Amino acid sequence: MARARAAKTKNDLWGTITPDTTWKGRTGRGVRVAIIDSGIDTEHPALKGKIKESVEAIQEGGRTVFRQSTAGDVAGHGTACAGIITTVAPEAELYSIKVLGPNASGSGEMFLAGLDYAVKQRMSVINLSLGTTKPEYFGPLHDLLDRAYHFGCIVVAAANNLPQPSYPSIFSSSLVSVVKREGGDPFNFGFRYGQVIELIAPGVQVRTTWPGGGYRQLTGNSFACPHIAGVIALIMEAYPGLTPFQVKTILYTIAQRNQANEDQHKQAS
């Protein structure tokens, strides 16, 4: 028996990386997750008490600064992302960084400022269910993400819903990029080796929180992204000292195993 286990370990380098050993029994407690978005309805019954800080970007004296926010979330996008994260990691500490307006739109400068704020705060996980297609932001975003990577901040970015690539989701070396799939199990995520957008997570008809105490069913890459952010919060609770590279290795290993299990199930049926 011992010889068989040794042979298995030798042939399967990542055999010890399983959901049971990685996040079973975890809730995300103590893990700081920044949501750079349209704000969060902090009074929503499912979110009340889970938002540790809410700030918003404003223009003051020709520069972007942050102040405490009491504006809530008119667009609903940030509240929806927060609800998904807390479904997966109910005790994660959420930090709302508001950079989008009523139509879930905003400037590239605000986006950069929000990401810079989160990195300077050394957030463990940063959820970016937003992006830009404007090439002038390629360089500044790339530099910011390199800094986030070296600071140990794990950035999770949603792919563009349109065929056009968006930044920063295509910077797959310094962040975790996510695209939507059908299915409701947040832990049954997949991995597309060799693709620009690597991870696949639930993002079709996802039921989640909406401003005013309600819920909606939403579809989009924006709502696949926070599923992975929540999973990472569980991993970081279990192993607080992990680097972004190590977290990505764990995600990819389990995603490949998920895919293998799915393929076996299809063959059996």
Determine whether 77 is an active site residue: yes
Measure CA 241 to chain center: 18
CA–CA separation, 73 vs 212, rounded Å? 9
Torsion of CA 126, 102, 210, 32, to 10 degrees: 20
Per DSSP, 13 falls in state: T
Question: Is the Cβ–Cβ distance between 172 and 194 less than 8 Å?
Answer: no
Catalytic hit among 41, 96, 222, 227? 222
Render the burial of 215-245: b for 16+ CB within 10 Å, e for the rest.
Answer: eeebebbbbbbbbbbbbbbbbbbbeeebebe
Catalytic hit among 54, 77, 129, 177? 77
Of 80, 250, 55, 258, the C-alpha closest to 266 is 258
Which tokens is 85 given? Answer: 């994260």
Determine whether 37 is an active site residue: yes
CA–CA separation, 53 vs 42, rounded Å? 10
Angle at 254 between CA 247 and CA 236, to 5 degrees: 30
> Any idea which residues carry the catalytic annotation?
37, 77, 222
